[in-house]
Amino acid sequence: MAGFLLHTDATVRCAHTGAAQPTASSARVKIGNQAVVTQPTTYTVSPDCKAPRPTAGNGPCVTASWTSAATRVKVDGRPVLLDSGAATCVPTGTGLTVIATQERVRGV
């Protein structure tokens, strides 16, 4: 699965339009002056997630973990995250969508 590498300034949102940001990144590798993000880094979803609160639903999204990443490109021995990867939000079980990231470096 090929895709563009994710970095700390990539625009990532949950299925309910909540902004998501990585909790960690690589200090050693940067793309366009932004650190790349590796697995198993989790993402924190902002409180603007519009998933229905408990009793009406199971939201809002709080965190997300990437379930797939690059198989051939690694940083510090960890796979880099790709815009084509999959993530699951907790507690809703929905995914994350990469809206924008750099478009110069691809990984597999």
Each residue's pLDDT tens digit, 49-93? 999 988 888 889 999 999 999 999 999 999 999 999 999 999 999
What is d(CA 103, CA 105) in angstroms, rounded to the nearest whole number? 6
The full set of domains in the chain, from first to last, is 3-107 (2.60.200.60)
pLDDT the model gives residue 101: 97
Amino acid identity for residue 9 in this structure: D
Give me the percent of the chain exceeding a pLDDT of 70: 100
How does 49-82 read in b/e, with b if 16+ C-beta sit within 10 Å? bebeeeeeeebbbbbbebeebbeebebeeebbbb
Q: Indicate the pTM of the whole model.
A: 0.93
Q: What is the pLDDT of residue 104?
A: 94
